[in-house]
Chains A and B, each alone.
Chain A
Amino acid sequence: MMFCEKAVELVRELQRLSDGQLPAFNEDGLRQVLQEMESLYDQNQADVNEAKAGRSDFIPSIKLRHSCLLRNQRCVTAYLYDRLLRIRALRWEYGSVLPANVRFHMCAEEVEWFSQYKKSLASFMRSIGGGEGLDITQDMKPPKSLYIQVRCIKDHGEFEIDDGTIILLKKNSQHFLPRWKCEHLIRQGVLEHVLS
């Protein structure tokens, strides 16, 4: 058997979902890696004491275990960091409220990171232009027209357009709406942009 197999398994888990989806947080896998680290560390402490007492032939084994400790640390950090990049993407794709099935895949600390990230991004956007504020999660593509034709993919309920008119977004209904009003709903898969 070789050390660090569990840690690489965490990395593979993310690599398999290369489109950026967030798999469930693998607390169990993480715990096993941390256990392996603890035992590597304990064995090294014991061998270090022997080495100090004159057994310099123990040094290669100490070095090998230390390499394994560093490797485990690297895999775990990379696993967690890549998850943050995926969680960050959720803010840009879904908006600040996440569907429950996505949220359930995060651990408590990730939920905390996400809410901090939301806060930082919001206060950054509020401060643009000396405090006037600008939503930079909108206008993701260059505009071609002010109004666009959209089809409703699922029931969404009432929706207010800028002049105060309220329309009903009902499944399969089609509407001609201001582009900037629809952008988020299209990204979230509620509306579909129909090209003429």
Chain B
Amino acid sequence: MSEAAFDDSEINQEDDSQEDVMTPAELIAKLEEAWLNEKFSPELQENKSEVVECVMEQLTHMESNLQRVKKGDTKASIHRMEVDRIRFVLTSYLRSRLQKIEKFFPHVLEREKSRADGEPSLLSPEEFAFAKEYYDNTEAYLKAVALKRMPPNLQSIDMLKAVPEPCLDSFVFLRVKEKQENILIEPETDDQREYVVDLEEGSQHLMRYRTIAPLISNGAVKLI
């Protein structure tokens, strides 16, 4: 995505850590990476609320700049297009997260419950509220329509067992951002043995999601 639209501003993250000064181009690159990782991975990734908030601020800022520009200005319509494109990536990113939250809601909530202190949360506070409501709403519906009319020993179902978990054995395409050594590959068939590989920077691979999931969250690889 072009940097044209951002020429007049930089985003200063108001963070205690002081280190994070991101240029708009870096911000959009971060959003795109989060978007593709989310789109191509079978399970929900950590939330990137800070990125979403900064992009929203940036969009508002750009739109208010555009309000001031005269009609028919070609430069303005290029900027407007840029706004539309960023908004598409942002909504598509949030949609694919919401879709996974709905698809796996009991498991997503369970992971949130068993999360250790200090471990980053999968869900943003808003997503958490949504998942919780979705759970309660669905459970209440099943109870009211049918379960409460069933024999006493059959009036509840275990949502964790009923709703399928994400399939972590699916294969994903990835590009390596930082060289990785000694990645353990599990055997595919009985007559294979496990072995290790090195992943060179810039190389691309097709691998089992489960094997490289930790490398996505620490940013060493990205899905493509």
Contact = CB atoms under 8 A, between A and B. Distances in A.
A110 B149 CA distance: 16
Contact of A146 (B80, B87, B129, B130): B80
Interface stretch (B22-30, B92-100, B195-203, B211-219): B92-100
B157 interface: yes
B137 A117 contact: yes
Interface in B57-100: 57, 60, 77, 80-81, 84-85, 87-88, 90-92, 94-95, 98
A30 B55 CA distance: 48
Contact of A130 (B53, B80, B84, B134): B53
Interface residues on B, range: 35 or more
A128 B94 contact: yes
A77 B95 contact: no
Contacts, number: 108
Interface string B149-165: 11100100100001000
Mostly, the A contact residues are helix
A185 B147 CA distance: 39
Contacts of A180: 84
Contacts of A119: 133
Given A77-B142, A109-B141, A139-B91, A128 B56 contact: yes
B144 interface: yes
Nearest to B144: A109
A132 B55 CA distance: 12
B109 to A, nearest CB: 14
Interface residues of A, number: 43
12 contacts: A34-B149, A81-B138, A84-B141, A113-B137, A117-B134, A127-B126, A129-B57, A134-B90, A134-B94, A136-B95, A139-B88, A143-B81
Interface of A: 30, 34, 37-38, 41, 69-70, 73, 76-77, 80-81, 84, 88, 107, 109-110, 112-113, 116-117, 119-121, 123-124, 127-130, 132, 134-136, 138-139, 141-143, 145-146, 179-180
